[in-house]
Every structure is written in structure tokens, then in C-alpha cells.
Structure 1
């Protein structure tokens, strides 16, 4: 059975402050949504890939990287890959903006 992605409206552009994470629900999935300083939006599952877990929405964004607020792991927002020397991956989701609305595909 093929999983189909569903699009969710999660707010308006001005609802997302640059470099500040925001928690949103898209169906059953809790996401951490970030707007980088250049205005690009990224969404990741709001769950740290660290073995002890934890939220990611309160992490610090620098460029395209998110720093895990509890373990300081560096995560690439574009791919979800944790940067060396740590390892892991967080699920990423496609975000679109249209007519000032922000939508995510889950």
C-alpha cells in the first residue's frame, strides 16, 4: 500500500520568526518548523535523533543547521543528517509558501 502525502496549512509567513523554531501539528505528526535568516522554511519531526530523545523546536538555527537544544548535535535542516562526530537522522518535510500561507507535506 502506497502512503500518500497530505498537505497541511500551518500558518502565515509572519507567524514564523526568523531563526526561531515553532511547534506545529500536521495530522498526527508534531513538527518543528524553522524559517532561516534568508526566509527559507524547513520542517523536521520535533524529536531529537539522540538516543535519549527530546524536542528540537527550541534549538538554535545558524545558516542551514539546527543545534539540538539538549545535546548540541548539529543537524542539517535540508537533509535531516546529524553532522559528524555524532550520527543519526531526523525526518524532514517539504514546506511551501503561497500567498503568504505556509503549508507542509506530511
Structure 2
């Protein structure tokens, strides 16, 4: 099995991130929603709902989930899966915090 190459991209300072609100990060042609959860953990997911393309960074956060602002689809930010009875998924990205700096690992072709 071949390992996927990733690029480590600096996206901001931990203290500048709002709690339980999304922040849109643009890396090349990709839009990513970055979240700081109530417990302080960080999550990064594709910024478009698989249903109708709602901007997930504008959604409400509850625990490990974000609710799409358009039609209230509930998406798990850990694995990207949409909660049933709806179906679909979004891409998730690994987030690294080094001191106060935040990096997202982006897969490279």
C-alpha cells in the first residue's frame, strides 16, 4: 500500500480562532472549514455540504458535529459522515497544533 504524500500548511494562530464557530480557509483551489470545538480540539473538513453545497463554516457546532446552515444536515467532523437518514460525506483533514500555530495537512497528488 502506497502512503499518501501530504503538505503541511500554516493556517493561523490557535488563540485567534473563535470557539465553536467555523473559519473558512482557502488553500489553492480548496475551501476548508476549520473549527475549534468546545473542548479545545480542532477539526477541519471540506467546506461544502454534500446535499446542496451549503457553506459548513457558517453552520452551528454541537460537540463533534456541524449542522449545514441550508437544510440542517448533521455532519460528523471527525469522520466526515452525514448522520442518517441523510447520507453522504465530506472530506476531513488532519489538523496539527504546534505551540500556538495551526497547520492543516493537505493531500498532494
TM exceeding 0.5:
yes
What residue ranges of structure 1 are gaps of 5+ in the alignment? none
Q: CA deviation at 1:99?
A: 1.2
What pairs with 1:1-106 in structure 2 (closer than 5 Å)? 4-50=5-51, 52-106=52-106
Q: CA deviation at 1:54?
A: 2.4
C-alpha separation in 2, matches of 1:5 and 1:48: 24
C-alpha separation in 2, matches of 1:54 and 1:72: 10
C-alpha separation in 2, matches of 1:93 and 1:3: 13
Classify the secondary structure of the residue corresponding to 1:57.
helix
Runs (4+) of structure 1 exceeding 4 A deviation are none
C-alpha separation in 1, matches of 2:5 and 2:96: 17
Q: CA deviation at 1:27?
A: 2.9
Q: Give TM-score, length-normalised by structure 1.
A: 0.93
C-alpha separation in 1, matches of 2:19 and 2:99: 18
C-alpha separation in 2, matches of 1:61 and 1:47: 15
Higher strand share: 2
RMSD (CA atoms): 1.4
